[in-house]
A and B are shown apart, each in its own frame.
Chain A
Amino acid sequence: MKWWLNLYFAEGPGIAKDLPRATGLRLVWQTIAREWWNLIILNVVFITASLPIVTIPAAYAAMVRVTATMVEDEPCEPWRDFREAFITLLLPSLSLSLLCAAMVGLGAAATRAYAQAATESLAFAVPLAIAAAFLGLVTLFTTFAFTLLATQRPLLPHLLKAAAIAVLVRPLPVLAALGANAALWVFHIAAYPSTILLAVLVNFSFGTLLITFATLATAQASLAYARSRNEEERIKTIPPIQTGATASN
């Protein structure tokens, strides 16, 4: 009887006040360890909110908002925060998704067409490369744009500009995060159906958490830059360029 009460109520070692914040993968790990239960709730809420299909963009944006709270180590209540974000972002995220879908669709179609053509004539290799690069860039652009929309609610021109800047400044962490997402889903499909619970409980929210880690700081810095009017402010807000391939804030 006593020992399990102690488990809960015994004094802990305390938390130092000026502990430097962990960075990179360590921070990712700490966040997951702290928020695992909220991530599970979030995943289920996301799946439910996505069922009408047209709400997927809003559900994704809301999920980004909630994971951003986690990344910033702020108190988060997945259900309440999700609902609020979902409602306010319903239309904006739908519009943004149409825009992004058009670009990604264009990139995908071009890539596919040139890929087929390239099998017949190597002369199409160059346009194929260009189309593929475009597809990659608009995918990254979409990721950043959604993070911006979900966390900052900027004006459309600022949003587009900031997302474009962010893609150029720090694409690698996002690529890594997208890669991790892809790996997660490949694993899920390969081991299906034994991994069905994984998808239901964590895949979406966990994957989104990684993306938010990779995009949040860069997106915010880029937005500050895009919003700044004069030269001096710009110099102060220049986003940090980092070459590491892992997500780190």
Chain B
Amino acid sequence: MAAISLRKLRKTFGELTVVHDIDLEIADKEFIILVGPSGCGKSTTLRMIAGLEDVSSGDLIIGDLIVNDVAAKDRDIAMVFQNYALYPHMTVYKNMAFGLELRRAPRDEVDRKVREAAEILDITYLLNRKPKALSGGQRQRVALGRAMVRSPEVFLLDEPLSNLDAKLRATMRAEITKLHRSLNATFIYVTHDQVEAMTMADRIVVMQDGHIQQVAKPQDLYDNPVNLFVASFIGAPQMNFYPVTIRETDAGFAVDFGGTLLPLPPRLTPENLAPYEGQEVTLGLRPEAFFERMTSEHDPDMFAQLDGVVDYAEPMGPEIHLNFAVQGHSTTARLSPRFAARPGDTVTLHVDMSMAHLFDPKSERSLMAGPAA
């Protein structure tokens, strides 16, 4: 059993608090991914779990033991670092075997585990090589293998793929997901890369400035961000934001965007909206909420038209990212590559308001999330 609880976990370096009393429950065998901008405390949190940093206050519980004062080596945790940290003077085999040998594991067992791990990671042919000649991807596998041979209950991975090229990253993503399934261990994984987070995680933890902003399943996080930060952090290209005013009309609530009335979806209930009647809020629309034309699948009641002046278009292959200004607000839309527009053109796009998000501009919270606790 390796469920992990962070209870009011805090880390300070001198005067500086980098992790602020965070609470997080991680289930046994879960794949949790921590994301957030640089410096938000992801690595520090991971290092506290690993036992490489002292906990300043709060409790860290693994299984049903408070491990605040348990040494790193006694935590049954393996950590894979961003820079691999392989011993340069040892062969791959030795790098992988070393930790076990230190624990005086019997030699047959060490050998079996190393070869098993090497087989799974497809690095058997590298066992007698030194790290020097290995490529980033190969080193990464060795680092993973070194963690694997210890068969820990918990794997901590700090941006393990950040040094790899795009192709290798895609392969390794799949491999790590497979590894998680076959190892039956709890994975806590830090990354900058949204694709990694969305594709691999059971749940994603979004952090900012040492606070947890939201914990949710990937799709939930994307569909229902609880605040402006999460909304803008998750999703590429970013969500577009506009200042709008809430109005009550005969047909229910709507938002007024510079004179254009835009309908609102039923998931934004009158209870959510009534307190904001007549006030300015922030409208969020993801790039895929824009369409060149409406089709029979679309609900006409939820659609509105917006005019914009094209700034530039980025062809991505299967789609283009059209950058244009709507009433002076820069906007990115995801459109079919056949959409032809030149800089300076005025275009009219259809917006699916059923995908709309509204945020309180002061608290930055989603109106759907209710008032701050």
B128→A12 contact, CB < 8 A: no
Chain B residues with Cβ below 8 Å from A11 are 134-136, 139, 163
Interface contact A74-B128, CB-CB below 8 Å: yes
In this complex, the member of A11, A15, A17 whose beta carbon has the largest number of chain B beta carbons within 10 angstroms is A11
Residue of B nearest to A70 (CB): B128
Can you list 13 A-B pairs with a CB-CB distance of less than 8 A?
A: A8-B88, A8-B132, A12-B135, A13-B135, A14-B135, A14-B137, A14-B138, A15-B126, A17-B125, A34-B128, A74-B127, A74-B128, A75-B91
CB-CB nearest in chain B for A14: B135
Q: With A75-B93, A75-B127 in contact, do A14 and B88 touch (Cβ < 8 Å)?
A: no
Give the distance in Å from the alpha carbon of A76 to the alpha carbon of B93 in the complex. Answer: 9
Asked if B133 is at the interface of the complex by the 8 Å CB criterion, the answer is: yes
Among residues of A, the one whose C-beta sits closest to the C-beta of B126 is A15
Residues of B within 8 A of A8 (CB): 88, 132
Q: Chain B residues in contact with chain A, CB under 8 A?
A: 83, 88, 91, 93-94, 122, 125-129, 131-139, 163
Across the interface, name the chain A residue whose C-beta is closest to B138.
Answer: A14
Cα–Cα, bound, A75→B137 (Å): 21
- Residue A73 lies at the interface, judged by CB distance under 8 Å to chain B: yes
Q: From known contacts A9-B88, A11-B163, infer whether A73 and B135 are also in contact, taking CB-CB under 8 Å.
A: no
Shortest Cβ gap from A21 to chain B (Å): 10
Using a CB–CB cutoff of 8 Å, the interface residues on chain A facing chain B are: 8-9, 11-15, 17, 34, 73-76
Contacts of A15 in B (CB 8 A): 125-126, 129, 133-135, 138
In the complex, what distance in Å separates the CA atom of A197 from the CA atom of B203? 63
Residue of B nearest to A69 (CB): B128
- Cβ–Cβ contact B83 & A9, under 8 A: yes
CB nearest neighbor in B for A75: B93
Question: CA–CA, A76 to B128, complex, Å?
Answer: 8
Which partner residue on chain B sits nearest A19 by CB separation? Answer: B125
Inter-chain CA distance A14–B125, complex, in Å, is 12
Shortest CB distance B294–A (Å) = 51
A interface secondary structure, majority: loop
Q: How far is the CB of A80 from chain B (nearest CB, A)?
A: 8
Inter-chain contact A73/B128, CB cutoff 8 Å = yes
12 additional A-B residue pairs with CB within 8 Å, beyond A9-B83, A15-B133, A75-B127: A8-B132, A9-B88, A11-B136, A12-B132, A14-B133, A14-B137, A14-B138, A17-B122, A17-B125, A74-B127, A74-B128, A75-B91
Q: Name the residue of chain B whose CB is nearest to the CB of A11.
A: B136
CB-CB nearest in chain B for A12 = B133
- Taking CB atoms, residues of chain A closer than 8 Å to B128 are 34, 73-76
Least distance between A185 CB and chain B CB atoms (Å): 30
User: Cβ of A17: which chain B residues have Cβ within 8 Å of it?
Assistant: 122, 125
Residues in A whose Cβ lies below 8 Å from that of B93: 75
Contact at B125–A75, with CB atoms within 8 Å? no
For B124, the closest partner residue in chain A by CB is A17
Which chain B residues lie closer than 8 Å to A14 at the CB level? 133-135, 137-138
Q: Which A residue's beta carbon lies closest to that of B91?
A: A75
Which B residues are in CB contact (< 8 Å) with A76? 128
Query: Quick check: B139 and A75 within 8 Å, CB to CB?
Result: no
Set of chain A residues within 8 Å of B129, measured between Cβ atoms: 15
User: Closest Cβ of chain B: how far from A14's Cβ, in Å?
Assistant: 3
CA distance A12 to B84 in the complex (A): 13
Bound form: Cα–Cα A73–B131 in Å: 16
A13, B246: Cα distance in complex, Å: 59
Whether B88 lies near A12 (C-beta < 8 A) is no
Nearest CB of chain A from residue B241's CB, rounded to whole Å: 40
Q: State A8–B136 Cα separation when bound (angstroms).
A: 13
Bound Cα distance from A34 to B94, whole angstroms: 15
Which residues of the other chain, A, contact B131 by a CB distance below 8 angstroms?
A: 12
Least CB separation from A73: chain B residue: B128
- Residues of chain A within 8 A (CB-CB) of B127 are 74-75
Min Cβ gap B80→A in Å is 16
Cα A14 to Cα B136 with chains together (Å): 8
CB neighbours (8 Å) of A74 from chain B are 127-128
Shortest CB–CB separation between residue B185 and chain A, in angstroms? 26
Nearest B residue to A10 by beta-carbon distance? B132
Q: Report the separation of the CA atoms of residues A74 and B135 in the bound assembly, to the nearest whole angstrom.
A: 21
- Name the residue on A nearest B93 (C-beta): A75
Contact of B134 among A12, A34, A75 (CB under 8 A): A12
A11 to B142: give the CA distance in the assembly, Å. 13
Per the bound structure, the CA–CA distance linking A11 and B162 in Å amounts to 13
- Bound together, the chains give a CA A17 to CA B134 distance in angstroms of 11
Distance, CA A12 to CA B139, complexed state (A): 9
* Residue in contact with A75 in the complex, picked from B83, B94, B136, B138, CB distance below 8 Å: B94
